[in-house]
Structure 1
Amino acid sequence: MSVVIALDGPAGAGKSSIAKKAAKALDYIYVDTGALYRTIGLAASRENVEPKPSKEVEELLDKINVDLTFNSLGEQVVLLDGEDVSGEIRTPEASMMASKISAVPAVRAYLLDLQRNMAKTHNVIMDGRDIGTVVLPNAKVKIFLTASPEARAQRRYKELCEKGMDVKYEDVLNDVIQRDYNDTHRDVAPLKPADGCVIVDTTELDFEQSVDKIISVIKENI
């Protein structure tokens, strides 16, 4: 039987990078569900479809194919109709679009089976906003990873600058705060700690300390 770790938390908490390294250390598969929502958001942007409940969104879902695969290095690759969009979905615009599109019930239903099927056949660390509350409520270990908005914005700002993007810290902070509001106030599967989860605050921790903390929590609870 597979071991499933659910890792939730707000935007910029470092879920993806921390979960990826922890999964590698534990020899688990890492599943970044946020990338799936970003990909649907990208598809909506390309088709000029508004990210809100509508017939247009449902028609979009009927004609696109979103999938996760892994390259020879074991790194996650996100495919939109067979196209690798792993890099294109990592922008502030894609992040905000994902926040909006993820509030559409049809989108969440579209991705639910895909996410659950991955957990049936592999030991996984799956991160997102509602993994422990909705997608995998029976996960062996549920973790809510968080940090102050300022700390999360500073990390995201540094990451974007290192990618050569021209951004301002104040804009990144405002995006984080807006994303938090969107995620916690949506009607469908709002962001919140799951029942029985372990809350890990990394405001005062660096990356390696955060990874070590997550690995420690997992080992203590499986």
Structure 2
Amino acid sequence: MLKLPFLIAIDGPAGSGKGTVAKILSQKLDLNYLDSGAIYRLIALSSSKANINQDDARLITRHLSDVDIKFIDGQAFLNGIEVSEEIRAQEVGKIASKIAQHIEVRKQILELQRGFFYGRGLVAEGRDMTTVVFPNADLKIYLDASPKERAKRRYKQLISKGIDANITDLAEEIKARDRQDMERLYSPLLVAKTANVLNSDDLSIDQTVDKIILLLKDKH
């Protein structure tokens, strides 16, 4: 039995499977779920619609005060409109990655992210959940996978949606995204000292979830 409230924080690079794993964990354990990447994607979509320069941190942070972000039953809402599919567009992801470089933006949404930890607890996933947002999490996971494996997963995902893709190009995009995430000045992607590192290259989603649940049991 978990001693509630309980907080699981999961970090990892793009395509490592942390989103799917975190969502399943939250459902199995009946905890809240935070997809921090979706917050940046919502900001990216909103600022794009408002024709705001993605390099202008001051304008973006000012714009945030006019943006209403909500998650209801796993769906993302922007100013009352459901945009869960729209924020998953590749172009929105690229804008989100640039916006996430801005210290002012990251600082401004800290409290929004921390507000998801209430009730029974939370499973939070992102790039700086274990290091900046929830440094005192009860269980910290760094979920990794090779660029080749992540490109393969992304390729299958795009093809299944009828979107043309080139696996070599996807691998290069993933490597570029990794560099961007790991080299940013504020809250870069890194392995927290107390994090449990899991490589998901040869693991299914269910196997990864089971491994994390075993780690949970070891803590109790």
The alignment's TM-score, normalised by the length of structure 1, stands at 0.92
1:89 aligns with 2:87: yes
Paired position in structure 2 for 1:55: 58
1:182 aligns with 2:157: no
Post-superposition, which runs of at least 4 consecutive aligned residues in structure 1 deviate over 6 A? none
Deviates more, 1:13-22 or 1:44-53: 44-53
Paired position in structure 2 for 1:112: 110
In the TM superposition, what is the alpha-carbon distance from 1:122 to its structure 2 partner? 3.6
Instruction: Identify if the C-alpha distance between structure 1 residues 115 and 121 changes in structure 2 by more than 3 Å, giving closer, same or farther.
Output: farther
Match of 2:16 among 13, 38, 53: 13
Q: Distance in 2 between matches of 1:81 and 1:159?
A: 28
Equivalent AA in structure 2 for residue 130 of structure 1 = D
Query: Secondary structure of the equivalent of 1:196?
Result: coil
**Equivalence map 1:1-222=2 (5 Å):** 1-70=4-73, 76-222=74-220
Deviates more, 1:195-204 or 1:54-63: 54-63
In the TM superposition, what is the alpha-carbon distance from 1:84 to its structure 2 partner? 1.0
Q: Distance in 2 between matches of 1:56 and 1:13?
A: 32
Instruction: Identify if the C-alpha distance between structure 1 residues 118 and 107 changes in structure 2 by more than 3 Å, giving closer, same or farther.
Output: same
The alignment's TM-score, normalised by the length of structure 2, stands at 0.93
Q: Which runs of 5+ in 2 are unaligned?
A: none
How many residues are treated as equivalent by the alignment? 217
State the identity %: 38
Instruction: Identify if the C-alpha distance between structure 1 residues 196 and 111 changes in structure 2 by more than 3 Å, giving closer, same or farther.
Output: same
Query: Secondary structure of the equivalent of 1:63?
Result: coil
Instruction: Identify if the C-alpha distance between structure 1 residues 216 and 94 changes in structure 2 by more than 3 Å, giving closer, same or farther.
Output: farther
Q: Distance in 2 between matches of 1:129 and 1:13?
A: 11
Equivalent AA in structure 2 for residue 23 of structure 1 = S
Q: Distance in 2 between matches of 1:53 and 1:139?
A: 32
In the TM superposition, what is the alpha-carbon distance from 1:52 to its structure 2 partner? 2.5
- Superposition CA RMSD, Å: 1.5
Equivalent AA in structure 1 for residue 22 of structure 2 = A
Q: Distance in 1 between matches of 2:184 and 2:200?
A: 25
Paired position in structure 2 for 1:73: none
Equivalent AA in structure 2 for residue 180 of structure 1 = D
Query: Secondary structure of the equivalent of 1:68?
Result: strand
